[in-house]
Amino acid sequence: MLRRSMTAQISVAITLVSVLLVATSNFLVLRMTAQELREGGEIIMLANLAILRDDLNEARFDEKRSQDLADRIELQLGTLHVALLAEDRSLIAASSQFEVPLAELPAQALAIDAFPVGITPEKIRRLQKQLGSLTRSWTAPDGRSFGLMLTRIPPPPELAALGRAPVLVALALELTQAREVVRGGVKIVAAAALLSALAAALLGAWMARRILQTARQLGAAASRISANALGERLALGDLPSELQESGHAFNRMLDRLEAAFKRLSEFSSDLAHDLRTPINNLLGTAQVALGRPRTAPEYRVVLESAVEDYERVSRLIENMLFLARADDARASIRTEWVDLCSASERLLGYFEGLAEERGVTVACELRGASNEACRVWADRLLLVRALGNLISNALRFADAGTAVLLVVTPEASGACTIQVSNQGPAIPPRDLPRVFDRLFRVDPSREGSASGSGLGLAIVKSIMDMHGGQARVSSGTGQRTVFTLAFPAPMAQATAPPDSKPMAPDGLGLSTAP
């Protein structure tokens, strides 16, 4: 439930932070209060200890007056009880309410000479750093709490010379009321934490719903977008700054979907047109042939005339299947070092006859590398197919008496650029971005469609995408039309070309009408 609900996550986060802050702040306040109470009690004990020292000096450390001194301290402050002890910790005198067992007193007696004059909380803290804890806690059987302090008061020098021994003074300050204050503070802290948790949970749920309101509106707007309303976009002006980038990304995705849907619609229309023509031809020829009885030679003529349309439909289906497989992200290619010199010679030899028919020459040119380095890291069959489509396309549109050039430019890194160019009608600038689209033809009248399916350049681009390369075109009036294939450098493991293997004559896989 918590993982699936952002509202619950935000509410729980706010609740936890609120409770943590309240509990931490109250705990620190309680700790400071307890420390102030403890320091206040120690100041009271040290102040009365100074008074008792003066009284002992005035009484000349007379043990007979010790009881009166102890009772007077308790009489002045009813929560402070006093006992006077000898060096061997035997009891000399004790106030009436001193009930602390002598065994519970601190093991080490503090020297009163170490205590500073003019006791303040700051001096108490410095004294604690020097001597450690000044008091020890003890709980009586009836539950009362006491802070115990044991000090040694030496006699004046003149009395010490007469043999007066130092006196141990045990002070017991009752801290029950202070402990009750702390315990009451703990209860208040617990109650405040519970109340803050409840208030934070309610406030967090309200805040989470307010925060996610925009996200819900975003989802509602997205749900209204369908195939019939691909032009709708999210209104970014109403989005908070944190969702602006998500809104832009969503609108860019819609732009891509709309463009892809438009291309798909155009592609379906063009595909239907290209399939309808040969199928109508086949249907019309068959209907005419069946209109009356025919002789065997006449039927043979009908079948022979249908072969061209069958081949065209077959090529179209084959190319469509190839493009469908190329679109699959899981499609794999078998890359290897391909000798471009050998491959280009075979390609030019394959198209030599077609070039002679059109009055065009074909030539290959190697730039920037020796014959030994004329290689590319690619799938051999796909590379030959891409080059064959480009050469076939260049021959179809080349002017008579001109040349189709295949220019190979390998690089030291292993990358390679291959250009196929011809001299012919220029491609209009508005059509250059769509040259590699499926079934796109520069001539809207589809002149010459009988000789090609309009998928050859789309196949070239798909092959380059599979290799991680690029397919580009440049054309202009009075300039040669140049198609460029840019193959990237191979990965680190492809460091050396394999043994040279001859390309099979049937490995071209080409067609003069891709």
**Options 1.10.10, 1.20.120, 1.10.1060, 1.10.287; CATH of 236-327:** 1.10.287
Does 451 have pLDDT greater than 70? no
* Range of lowest pLDDT (350-359, 402-411, 424-433, 485-494): 485-494
Contacts 24+ apart (CB under 8 A), 121-128: 121/36, 121/39, 121/43, 124/39, 124/42, 124/43, 124/46, 125/39
Predicted local distance difference test score (pLDDT) of residue 30: 75
Predicted local distance difference test score (pLDDT) of residue 121: 77
Taking residues 258-275, what's their average pLDDT?
72
What residues have CB less than 8 Å from 351, skipping those under 6 apart? Answer: 362, 388, 391, 392, 395, 512
- Binned at pLDDT 50, 70 and 90, residue 405 comes out as very high
Does 439 have pLDDT greater than 60? yes
Closest listed residue to residue 385, CA positions, set 513, 508, 504: 508
Does 404 have pLDDT greater than 90? yes
The percent of residues in the chain predicted with pLDDT above 90, rounded, is: 8
Predicted local distance difference test score (pLDDT) of residue 370: 56
Taking residues 457-466, what's their average pLDDT?
87
* DSSP letter, residue 353: H
Is the model more confident about 73 or about 5? 73
CA distances from 318 to 277, 313, 314, 383 (A): 17, 9, 6, 17
C-alpha–C-alpha distance, residues 291 and 371, integer Å: 63
The CA-to-CA distance between both ends of the chain, in Å, stands at: 57
HEC secondary structure over 423-444: CCCCCCHHHHHHCCCCCCCCCC
* Range of lowest pLDDT (159-163, 357-361, 409-413): 159-163
State pLDDT tens for residues 75-123: 888 888 999 988 888 888 888 888 889 888 888 888 887 777 777 778 7
How does the average pLDDT of the chain come out, rounded? 79
What is the phi/psi pair of residue 377, to 5°?
-90, 100
CA distances from 269 to 313, 440, 479, 488 (A): 16, 11, 33, 35
- Binned at pLDDT 50, 70 and 90, residue 375 comes out as confident
State pLDDT tens for residues 147-205: 898 888 888 888 878 878 888 999 888 887 777 777 777 788 788 778 888 888 888 77
Pairing relationship of beta strands 361-366 and 403-410 according to DSSP bridges: parallel
Does 139 have pLDDT greater than 80? yes
Q: Any idea where the domains of the chain sit in the sequence? A: 6-184, 236-327, 335-507
Does 427 have pLDDT greater than 70? yes
Inter-residue contact 458 to 452 (CB < 8 Å):
no
What residues have CB less than 8 Å from 486, skipping those under 6 apart? Answer: 415, 416, 417, 464, 469, 470, 471, 472
Is the model more confident about 454 or about 13? 13
For 6-184, CATH number?
3.30.450
Architecture per CATH, domain 335-507, reads as 2-Layer Sandwich (3.30)
- Binned at pLDDT 50, 70 and 90, residue 266 comes out as low
* Range of lowest pLDDT (113-122, 246-255, 334-343, 418-427): 113-122
The percent of residues in the chain predicted with pLDDT above 70, rounded, is: 83
What residues have CB less than 8 Å from 328, skipping those under 6 apart? Answer: none
Closest listed residue to residue 86, CA positions, set 109, 52, 55: 109
Predicted local distance difference test score (pLDDT) of residue 237: 73
3-state secondary structure of 418: strand
C-alpha–C-alpha distance, residues 151 and 40, integer Å: 18
State pLDDT tens for residues 18-63: 888 877 887 788 778 777 777 788 888 888 888 888 888 888 887 7
Does 299 have pLDDT greater than 60? yes
Give the chain's length: 514
